């Protein structure tokens, strides 16, 4: 959470990699070096959620009472007057969708689980050896993994904060300090006007343009958030904080950037004028060399065929200047779509979804956008026929520039009471789906890794190309061996 992954978003997946297969030295120094530390021990760049909490606390606390510390300086920053040490986490126990898929559940040990445990143990050692009385508080997108009281006690965590803390953080921190806070603190979603601007730059120059999307997919945690749109002035102010702080890029975060300022909440046709204005305004800010967005939906791409070409002109995409984005395919089965994510395909029907996916990726590729798309393996009620339909969809994407990430189902959103899908439950068809996606990815990695590392020097690019190619082949070999051992089948 304190690295920019050398400016390559795909390297973020290495946090989920098994320590048994990847050297910790390579992870720390090649893939995920720490951000720079300032002379006072503060992190020059910090995770966006921490920056929001920092800005919220500064509404009621003095600047010298609040610091976003660099991980390497904890021993110097924490002292006898420290009252709260707060950590922001994404997947602290390594049980999120990406980790359970990449690390095959509990078969191997993912980096994120080990790194979190080491850091928490270190903070507790500082507290114990010095007799400090501060409270250790954990929040962020992965805080739900620490709801078990026994796990919190084992880790020495005093409080867990759930929900959006960026508006009401001062109240929560005061209650923690005076001893009146509950162990699990649940925050209420703030109105847009209550959300503070960040005051210092974020990791990867990330800013937020909206929260929630309104499509109400049952498996999705952001589904629990109502859609809220950040005004352009607010977006531009935060972008300038990052640009003045040393960044030369701006990355706009949302669940679906093409639904920015959505007006058609029945059919989900994008508000083209608003989205184009968003890109134009951000792209015209002084100092911007590169910008883009994190997520969009393929149905929105296909719904307005003119939108991506218009955005591409603003972005300046071309054969040697691609942009990446993360949509969700999830499944090729109309029945699973109908059951769990009917609104995901709007304005189309669930039976049109495979054609929508192919058309949207075609539009993206023709305009020099690459899609890194998720698939969900083991959705509740999935049958071999459902899985086969997804396999057939994947095979039709073989001639596209796209990366496919098959993820095991993790119970979140409306499906939080369902069981985890693990490798112990995997069927032959589901294994075949994972295999064909990684076979597709291997081809794409060979094509795309040098393209994605253009900003690095030649030696670094060559090292990363070799390691990425080797890692992909290791995964493919493992999947081949798994299929032979467990199902007695052989795939090329």
Please tell me the predicted confidence (pLDDT) of residue 17.
79
Residue (of 305, 319, 342) closest to 215 by Cα position: 342
Shared domain for 213 and 351, answered yes or no, is yes
Note the Cα 182 to chain centre separation in Å: 28
Average pLDDT along the chain, 492 residues, taken 10 residues at a time? 84 81 84 94 97 97 97 96 97 89 70 95 98 97 95 98 93 97 95 96 97 90 83 98 96 96 95 98 96 96 98 95 94 97 96 98 97 95 98 96 92 90 91 92 70 65 69 76 81 70
- For the chain, state the CA radius of gyration: 22
Whether residue 77 is contained in a domain is answered as: yes
Please tell me the predicted confidence (pLDDT) of residue 454.
64
470: tokens are 């080797």
d(CA 314, CA 97): 34
Shared domain for 151 and 286, answered yes or no, is no
d(CA 372, CA 356): 16
Please tell me the predicted confidence (pLDDT) of residue 482.
81
d(CA 77, CA 81): 10
3-state secondary structure (DSSP) of residue 57: helix
Please tell me the predicted confidence (pLDDT) of residue 102.
73
Query: Phi and psi (nearest 5°) for 253?
Result: -100, 140
> Environment class of residue 217 by beta-carbon count within 10 Å: exposed (0-12), middle (13-18) or buried (19+)?
buried
User: Where among 358, 386, 421 does a domain terminate?
Assistant: 421
Whether residue 322 is contained in a domain is answered as: yes
- C-alpha dihedral, 364 to 250 to 285 to 236, nearest 10°: 110
Tally of domains within the chain:
2
Shared domain for 339 and 295, answered yes or no, is yes
Residue (of 187, 118, 110) closest to 156 by Cα position: 118
d(CA 212, CA 216): 9
Whether residue 472 is contained in a domain is answered as: no
- C-alpha dihedral, 98 to 50 to 175 to 143, nearest 10°: 0
DSSP 60: T
Please tell me the predicted confidence (pLDDT) of residue 106.
54
Instruction: List the beta bridge partners of residue 406.
Output: 375
Q: How many angstroms separate the Cα of 320 from the Cα of each of 45, 284, 338, 369, 451?
A: 29, 21, 39, 11, 8
CATH number at residue 345: 3.80.30.20
Please tell me the predicted confidence (pLDDT) of residue 103.
66
Whether residue 471 is contained in a domain is answered as: no
Please tell me the predicted confidence (pLDDT) of residue 464.
67
Q: Provide the residue range defining the domain that includes 166.
A: 5-186
Q: How many angstroms separate the Cα of 152 from the Cα of each of 51, 205, 285?
A: 25, 32, 44
Please tell me the predicted confidence (pLDDT) of residue 154.
97
CATH number at residue 31: 3.40.50.280
d(CA 110, CA 25): 14
Q: How many angstroms separate the Cα of 112 from the Cα of each of 69, 72, 179?
A: 19, 17, 31
Q: How many angstroms separate the Cα of 358 from the Cα of each of 172, 370, 488?
A: 47, 13, 32
């Amino acid at each position: 959470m304190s690295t920019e992954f050398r400016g390559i978003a795909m390297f973020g997946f290495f946090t989920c990699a098994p320590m048994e297969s990847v050297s910790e030295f390579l992870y720390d120094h090649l893939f995920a070096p720490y951000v720079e530390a300032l002379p006072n021990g503060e992190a020059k760049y910090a995770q966006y959620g921490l920056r929001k909490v920092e800005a919220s606390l500064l509404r009621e606390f003095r600047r010298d009472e609040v610091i976003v510390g660099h991980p390497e300086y904890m021993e110097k920053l924490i002292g006898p007057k420290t009252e709260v040490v707060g950590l922001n986490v994404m997947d602290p126990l390594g049980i999120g969708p990406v980790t359970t898929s990449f690390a095959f559940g509990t078969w191997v040990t993912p980096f994120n689980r080990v790194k979190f445990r080491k850091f928490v143990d270190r903070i507790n050692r500082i507290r114990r050896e010095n007799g400090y009385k501060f409270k250790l508080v954990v929040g962020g997108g992965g805080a739900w993994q620490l709801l078990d009281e026994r796990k919190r006690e084992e880790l020495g965590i005093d409080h867990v904060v759930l929900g959006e803390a960026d508006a009401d953080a001062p109240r929560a921190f005061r209650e923690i300090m005076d001893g009146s806070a509950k162990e699990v603190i649940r925050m209420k979603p703030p109105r847009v006007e209550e959300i503070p601007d960040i005051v210092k730059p974020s990791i990867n120059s990330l800013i937020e343009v909206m929260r929630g999307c309104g499509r109400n997919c049952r498996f999705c945690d952001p589904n629990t958030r109502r859609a809220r749109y950040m005004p352009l002035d607010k977006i531009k102010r935060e972008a300038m904080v990052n640009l003045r702080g040393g960044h030369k890029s701006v990355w706009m975060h949302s669940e679906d950037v093409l639904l920015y300022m959505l007006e058609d909440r029945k059919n989900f046709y994008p508000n083209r004028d608003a989205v184009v204005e968003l890109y134009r305004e951000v792209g015209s800010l002084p100092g911007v060399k590169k910008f883009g967005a994190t997520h969009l939906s393929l149905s929105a791409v296909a719904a307005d065929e003119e939108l991506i070409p218009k955005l591409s002109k603003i972005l300046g995409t071309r054969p040697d200047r691609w942009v990446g984005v993360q949509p969700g395919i999830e499944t090729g089965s109309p029945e699973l779509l109908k059951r769990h994510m009917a609104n995901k395909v709007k304005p189309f029907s669930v039976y049109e979804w495979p054609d929508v996916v192919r058309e949207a990726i075609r539009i993206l590729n023709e305009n020099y956008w690459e899609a890194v798309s998720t698939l969900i393996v083991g959705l509740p009620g999935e049958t071999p026929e459902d899985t086969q339909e997804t396999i057939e969809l994947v095979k039709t994407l073989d001639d596209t520039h796209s990366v496919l990430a098959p993820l095991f189902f993790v119970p979140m959103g409306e499906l939080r009471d369902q069981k985890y899908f693990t490798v112990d439950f995997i069927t032959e068809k589901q294994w075949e789906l994972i295999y064909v996606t990684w076979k597709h990815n291997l081809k794409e990695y060979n094509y795309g890794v040098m393209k994605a590392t253009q900003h690095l020097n030649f030696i670094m690019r060559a090292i990363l190309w070799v390691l990425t190619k080797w890692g992909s082949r290791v995964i493919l070999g493992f999947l081949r061996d798994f299929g032979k051992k467990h199902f007695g089948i052989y795939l090329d």
